[in-house]
Amino acid sequence: MTLSVHPLGPVFGAEIFGADLTRAQTADEVAVIKAAMDRYAVAVIRDADITDADQIRFSRQFGALELPPVLGVGAQRIARELYDVSNLTIDGEISPADVTKRKFGKGDQFFHMDSSFNTLPTTWSLLSARIIPPVGGDTEFIDLRAVYAALDAETRDAIQDATAIHSIWFSRRLGGYEVSPEMEAKLPAVEQKMVQIAPDGRPTVVAGAHAGAIVGKSEEEGQALLRRLIAFSKEARFRLVHNWKPHDLLIWDNRCTLHRATPFDDMAYKRDMRRTTLLETGPDRSAQAA
C-alpha cells in the first residue's frame, strides 16, 4: 500500500494513511514522510497500532534518539528510549494525585518546543497514543514559520538577532513544580537564537515556555517581549488542534512549532502516550550525559 498525505488545514499539519509501522519503512516511504514533515511541520500517521520496539525502529529511520534524562521523578514503566507521557503508575493504574510525575507534567500545558533547553539540537518528536481518554487531552500546535511571517516590523527587529535563554525549569515553575538546586544543576540553561531557518527554508521564531530570558535584556524587559510573542503566536490563525484517535502517531518538528497538552479528567481516565525525540546528529544519547 502506498502512503497518502492529506493537509489538515490551510497553514500546516497533515495526516498520513497507509503506513505499516510494524516493519521498516522503505526508502520511498521515508522520503514521503520527511517531505511531508518539512512542508507541514506536524503530521499524524493514522492506525499505527505499535509496540515500543516498533516506535523505536520507526523513529530511528529519521535520526538518532534523544534518550530521556534520568531525573528520578518516576519509575520506568516503558522502554528506556521512550519518554513516558502518561498519568499511570508502573503497574498501569491511574497514579495518585500528589505524585511528582503529575506535577512535573503540568509544565507541558504551556506552549513549548521539546528539549529546546538541551545542549544537543533536536528535530522531531513522535508521540504514540496507546490509551486515550474519552474526552479532553487534545494536543495543540502553533506554526512558528507562519508567526514569523506575520510579525510586525518592530517585533521582528527586536528578535532578529536576539538570543533567548532556555531552561526546563522555567516551564516547570510555570506549572507549579518546585525546583531544587540539585535538580537545576542536572539540566542547566542553554542559549538559542530567536530566529532560525526551518527545514523548508522559511525563517521561524524559536521561543516557547522553556525560554525565560533574553541575553542582554533585563529580566522584566526580556519576559515582556517573550510574553508578547507568545500571546501573538496563540492567535487562532496559527493554531491547529489535534483531537486524538486510537493508534495515532503524531509527529511534530520542534524547530518550527510549539505544542501543548490540554487538560482532561486525569483522575478518572487513563492517558498513555509514549514519546521519542530525535537528535539532529547521532549517536543516541541523553542531553544530560552530553
Binding site for ligand OGA (CB under 6 A): 85, 108, 114, 125, 127, 139, 259, 261, 273, 275
Quick one: what does residue 139 bind among ligand OGA, Mn ion, none, with the CB cut-off 5 to 8 Å set by partner type? ligand OGA
Quick one: what does residue 130 bind among Mn ion, ligand OGA, none, with the CB cut-off 5 to 8 Å set by partner type? none
* In the complex, least distance from residue 109 CB atom to ligand OGA, rounded to whole angstroms: 8
Nearer to Mn ion, 15 or 114 (CB): 114
The residue behind cell 488542534 is 241
Nearest to 192 by CA among 174, 212, 178, 219: 212
Helix (H) / strand (E) element for 186: namely helix 181-186
Q: What is the CA radius of gyration of the chain?
A: 18
Quick one: what does residue 59 bind among Mn ion, ligand OGA, none, with the CB cut-off 5 to 8 Å set by partner type? none
Nearer to ligand OGA, 41 or 127 (CB): 127
Binding mask 105-134 for Mn ion (x = CB under 5 A): ---------x--------------------
C-alpha cell at 66: 534523544
Nearer to ligand OGA, 130 or 225 (CB): 130
Residue nearest to ligand OGA (CB): 261
* In the complex, least distance from residue 37 CB atom to Mn ion, rounded to whole angstroms: 16
* In the complex, least distance from residue 127 CB atom to ligand OGA, rounded to whole angstroms: 5
Nearer to Mn ion, 145 or 210 (CB): 210
Nearer to ligand OGA, 105 or 212 (CB): 105
Length of the chain: 290
Quick one: what does residue 85 bind among Mn ion, ligand OGA, none, with the CB cut-off 5 to 8 Å set by partner type? ligand OGA
Those residues with Cβ within 8 angstroms of residue 37's Cβ, 6 or more apart along the chain or in another chain: 43, 124, 199, 251, 253
Beta strands, E only, the chain: 4-7, 14-17, 42-45, 64-65, 83-86, 122-131, 139-143, 163-166, 190-193, 195-197, 203-205, 211-214, 239-242, 249-253, 257-261, 272-279
* In the complex, least distance from residue 41 CB atom to ligand OGA, rounded to whole angstroms: 15
* In the complex, least distance from residue 114 CB atom to ligand OGA, rounded to whole angstroms: 5
The percent helix, strand, coil of the chain (3-state, each to 5) is: 25, 25, 45
Nearer to ligand OGA, 139 or 257 (CB): 139
Omega into 7 within 30° of 0, i.e. cis? no
C-alpha cell at 181: 538546586
What is the crossing angle of helices 153-160 and 219-233, to 10°?
130
Nearer to Mn ion, 101 or 158 (CB): 101
* In the complex, least distance from residue 185 CB atom to Mn ion, rounded to whole angstroms: 23
| Contact residues: Mn ion, CB under 5 A | 114
